[in-house]
């Protein structure tokens, strides 16, 4: 069966520190992968998507970057976090049959 693992579930980081959120997918090959962010009291914003290894598209200019080093691994990173990077980050994958979301990471930048 297809599953998606996202960790950590919660994270508190100081301003200026680096970030690495990891997402891995099982039970499927060559999925489309996505990173979404939900800021407090706001909707879901698509940050990055990837249609294959090493292929990353950015939807909005920001302080974050994404990488896909393996087919089923998607990483969200930052070199120096800003207060405005706080939010709920969701990883997702899709194939012809629909979308599956991870359980999310709640990031608080202090």
Partner 1 sequence: GEDVEQSLFLSVREGDSSVINCTYTDSSSTYLYWYKQEPGAGLQLLTYIFSNMDMKQDQRLTVLLNKKDKHLSLRIADTQTGDSAIYFCAESGGATNKLIFGTGTLLAVQP
Pick the binder of partner 1 from 12, 15, 51, 82 (CB under 8 A): 51
Task: Kindly tell me which of 28 and 45 has the beta carbon lying closer to partner 1.
Answer: 45
Q: Which residues pair with 107 in a beta bridge?
A: 11, 87
d(CA 73, CA 16): 25
CA torsion sign, 79 to 85 to 87 to 92?
negative
List the x/- string, 2-21, binding to partner 1 by CB under 8 A. --------------------
Pick the binder of partner 1 from 13, 28, 32, 67 (CB under 8 A): 32
């Amino acid at each position: 069966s297809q599953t998606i693992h996202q960790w950590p579930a919660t994270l508190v980081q100081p301003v200026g520190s680096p970030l690495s959120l990891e997402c891995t997918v099982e039970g499927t090959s060559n999925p489309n992968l996505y990173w979404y962010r939900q800021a407090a009291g706001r909707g879901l914003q698509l940050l990055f998507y990837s249609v294959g290894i090493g292929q990353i598209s950015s939807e909005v200019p920001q302080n974050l970057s994404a990488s896909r080093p393996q087919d089923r691994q998607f990483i969200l990173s930052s070199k120096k976090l800003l207060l405005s990077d706080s939010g709920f980050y969701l990883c997702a994958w899709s194939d012809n049959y629909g979308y599956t979301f991870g359980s999310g990471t709640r990031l608080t930048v202090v």
